[in-house]
């Protein structure tokens, strides 16, 4: 069996790896490290949680161990889609480079420009950044990328989802053509394939698992239910979530709850806390310091439930997550793989539950098609469809619905051509044998005039321009009176 000591890494790097407790590389590390050390471009494709970060961090430290950084000209660049992933990569560098004198800077939002500028001015060997903040520094004239020797793009498919591809292409154009590029992704969408063909030169392709597959150590399940009413869907979903958590009991030592929208993240977190669950929210709109505190608490075991948007779906190294709950089925099937990949990491067992309402079934079908596996359906542990507080509201609605129904039935029961009852007709209801100068009775003349105008005095078939399909009786009467007056 191959060990890290067989991979020609710097001895000081090997010492740090051993101190971290690792001996055997994962498949993606075993495939990516040798060609990276040879200076080749690398295209790594592997599911989340397989150790991609160490797959590029270890060879980068080895390659950068000799040399010295110059002011405002970093020697290497690592691009990450989210602040959390960038911070995790920085932690990995701290762990594996502690015996090597390398400097680094972390450029992410939510941190003062002044502090970051001070680090860049001193010169850094490793620059770890999100695309937006990196370009902000560049446009302010505080950064030059012409000295980049090694460039890494991590979680490239997430970059695509977040709309960073134009920024990535611009950043590529600012770096030297002779750079070495290490490109890592969990899936390979056509747009990602185009970029790799454009910016990578004869890359060594390492694919250690079928694209978009879930780990076999994760037990998956779907809870399908139909809400009692549309306006109660969200509250009933939250009841289902609580029931699943309760049913798992002590087996659910900690868990991540994923929602599609940031607003739902806050609502679900507040709801869980209201019912006595230890929960906190994390999403992109929160202050960076708050996000860091929440993640640190979850990693340390001080927080049981982390309610998150997809900002936490990829790259976060939290190895001991027992459960993942999908409060919403993700609209992009690939996100499902990344979400449930937060559990069952490093060979551990994990469970993933997905709550499905009728409108989500098409997304669930897409997920099953992607992972080429049917997700088992399990019974709903909550009494959904009969909420405790539903009685009063339902009773209030019944008369309104019945009233509308009776109104519609009265209209539909009456034929369109049915005339009004005789007693309902004023004036012309009792025809008189009066004739005009042409010998026509008044009632006949009224019918003739109204038929020429396309209308009737009493039915729904009559048509008068501007009045729809009904001619009110009083209008017909006024016409008749003027004619006879």
SS3 state at 221: strand
Residues 239, 185 share a domain = no
Residues 173, 236 share a domain = no
Q: What is the pLDDT of residue 344?
A: 84
Task: Name the nearest CA neighbour of 80 among 306, 309, 316, 260.
Answer: 316
**Which residue, of 181, 207, 233, is where some domain finishes?**
207
**pLDDT, one tens digit for every residue, the chain (485 residues):** 689 999 999 999 999 999 988 889 989 999 999 999 999 999 998 776 678 899 999 999 999 988 777 888 999 999 998 888 898 899 999 999 999 989 999 999 878 888 899 989 988 999 999 999 999 999 999 899 999 999 999 988 888 878 899 999 999 999 999 999 999 987 788 889 999 999 999 999 998 866 567 778 899 999 998 998 889 999 999 999 999 999 999 999 999 999 998 899 999 999 999 999 999 998 877 887 888 889 889 988 999 999 998 766 665 667 789 999 999 999 888 788 888 888 887 678 899 999 999 999 999 999 999 888 999 999 999 875 543 333 333 333 344 444 444 444 444 444 444 444 444 444 444 444 444 544 554 444 444 444 444 444 444 444 445 555 666 666 666 554 444 44
Half-sphere exposure of 426 (CA within 13 A, CB side): 9
Task: Name the nearest CA neighbour of 314 among 475, 159, 119.
Answer: 159
Residues 293, 329 share a domain = yes
402 within some domain? no
Residues 329, 232 share a domain = yes
Residues 302, 180 share a domain = no
What is the Cα–Cα distance from 45 to 224, expressed in whole angstroms?
Answer: 32
Q: How many domains does the chain have?
A: 3
Task: Name the nearest CA neighbour of 340 among 331, 299, 329.
Answer: 329
Residues 138, 242 share a domain = no
Half-sphere exposure of 91 (CA within 13 A, CB side): 13
250 within some domain? yes
Task: Name the nearest CA neighbour of 314 among 53, 79, 85.
Answer: 85
Residues 18, 167 share a domain = yes
What is the Cα–Cα distance from 434 to 259, expressed in whole angstroms?
Answer: 80
Q: What is the DSSP string of 266-332?
A: HHHHHHHHHTT--EEEE-TTS-HHHHHHHHHHHHHTS-SEEEE-GGGSSS---TT--EEEESS--SS
403 within some domain? no
What is the Cα–Cα distance from 336 to 353, expressed in whole angstroms?
Answer: 11
Q: What is the pLDDT of residue 467?
A: 54
379 within some domain? yes
Sign of torsion, CA 304 309 311 313? Answer: positive
Residues 468, 376 share a domain = no
What is the Cα–Cα distance from 455 to 371, expressed in whole angstroms?
Answer: 65
* DSSP 8-state class, residue 394: H
The CATH number for 130's domain is: 3.40.50.300
CB atoms within 10 A of CB 274: 10
Instruction: Measure CA of the first residue to CA of the last residue in the chain; give whole Å.
Output: 114
**Which residue, of 207, 241, 262, is where some domain finishes?**
207
Residue 354: its H or E element: strand 350-356
For residue 470 the two structure tokens come to 């009904």
Q: What is the pLDDT of residue 209?
A: 64
432 within some domain? yes
Q: What is the pLDDT of residue 334?
A: 78
What is the Cα–Cα distance from 293 to 338, expressed in whole angstroms?
Answer: 23
Q: What is the pLDDT of residue 186?
A: 77
What is the Cα–Cα distance from 57 to 53, expressed in whole angstroms?
Answer: 6
Residues 222, 198 share a domain = no
What is the Cα–Cα distance from 131 to 145, expressed in whole angstroms?
Answer: 13
What is the Cα–Cα distance from 175 to 74, expressed in whole angstroms?
Answer: 11
404 within some domain? no
What is the Cα–Cα distance from 81 to 292, expressed in whole angstroms?
Answer: 16
408 within some domain? no
Tell me phi and psi for residue 278, to 5 degrees: -85, 95
Q: What is the pLDDT of residue 88?
A: 86
Q: What is the pLDDT of residue 401?
A: 42
Q: What is the domain extent for residue 469?
A: 416-484
SS3 state at 243: helix
Residues 248, 383 share a domain = yes
Residues 322, 233 share a domain = yes
Evaluate whether 458 touches 420 at the Cβ level (below 8 Å): yes
Strand-pair partners of 128? 78, 106
**Which residue, of 367, 387, 407, is where some domain finishes?**
387
The model's pTM is: 0.62
399 within some domain? no
Residues 344, 237 share a domain = yes
């Amino acid at each position: 069996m191959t060990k890290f000591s067989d991979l020609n890494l710097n001895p000081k790097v090997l010492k740090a790896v051993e101190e971290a407790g690792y001996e055997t590389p994962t498949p993606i590390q075993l495939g990516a490290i040798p060609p990276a050390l040879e200076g080749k471009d690398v295209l790594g494709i592997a599911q989340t949680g397989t150790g991609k970060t160490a797959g590029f961090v270890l060879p980068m430290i080895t390659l950068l161990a000799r040399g010295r950084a110059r002011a405002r000209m970093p020697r290497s660049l690592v691009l990450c889609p989210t602040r959390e992933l960038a911070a995790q990569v920085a932690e990995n560098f701290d762990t594996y480079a502690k015996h090597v004198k390398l400097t680094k800077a972390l450029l992410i939002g939510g941190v003062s420009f002044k502090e970051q500028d001070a680090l860049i001015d001193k010169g850094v060997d490793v620059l770890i950044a999100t695309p937006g903040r990196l370009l902000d520094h560049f446009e302010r004239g505080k950064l030059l990328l012409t000295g980049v020797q090694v460039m890494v793009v991590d979680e490239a498919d997430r970059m695509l989802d977040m709309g960073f591809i134009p920024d990535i292409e611009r950043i590529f154009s600012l770096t030297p053509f002779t750079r070495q590029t290490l490109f890592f992704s969990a899936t390979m969408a056509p747009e990602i394939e185009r970029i790799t063909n454009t910016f990578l030169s004869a890359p060594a392709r390492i694919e250690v698992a079928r694209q978009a597959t879930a780990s076999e150590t994760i037990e998956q399940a779907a809870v399908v239910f139909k809400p009692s009413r549309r306006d109660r869907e969200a509250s009933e979903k939250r009841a289902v979530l609580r029931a699943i958590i309760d049913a798992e009991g002590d087996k659910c030592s900690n868990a991540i709850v994923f929602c599609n929208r940031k607003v739902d993240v806050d609502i679900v977190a507040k709801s869980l806390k209201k019912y006595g669950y230890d929960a906190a929210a994390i999403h992109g709109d929160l202050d960076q310091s708050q996000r860091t505190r929440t993640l640190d608490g979850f990693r340390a075991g001080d927080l049981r439930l982390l309610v998150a948007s997809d900002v936490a779906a990829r790259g976060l190294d939290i190895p001991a997550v027992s459960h993942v709950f999908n409060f919403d089925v993700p609209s992009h099937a690939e996100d499902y793989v990344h979400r449930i990949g937060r559990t069952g990491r490093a060979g551990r067992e994990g469970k993933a539950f997905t709550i499905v309402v009728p409108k989500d079934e098409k997304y669930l079908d897409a997920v099953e098609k992607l992972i080429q596996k049917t997700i088992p359906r399990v019974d709903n542990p909550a009494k959904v469809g009969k909420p405790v507080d539903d009685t009063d509201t339902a009773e209030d609605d019944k008369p309104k619905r019945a009233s509308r129904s009776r109104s519609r039935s009265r209209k539909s029961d009456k034929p369109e051509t049915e005339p009004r009852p005789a007693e309902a007709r004023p004036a012309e209801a009792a025809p008189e044998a009066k004739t005009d100068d042409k010998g026509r009775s008044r009632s006949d003349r009224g019918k003739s005039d109204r038929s020429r105008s396309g209308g009737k005095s009493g039915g729904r078939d009559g048509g008068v321009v501007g009045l729809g399909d009904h001619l009110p009786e009083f209008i017909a009467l006024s016409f008749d009176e003027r004619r006879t007056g």
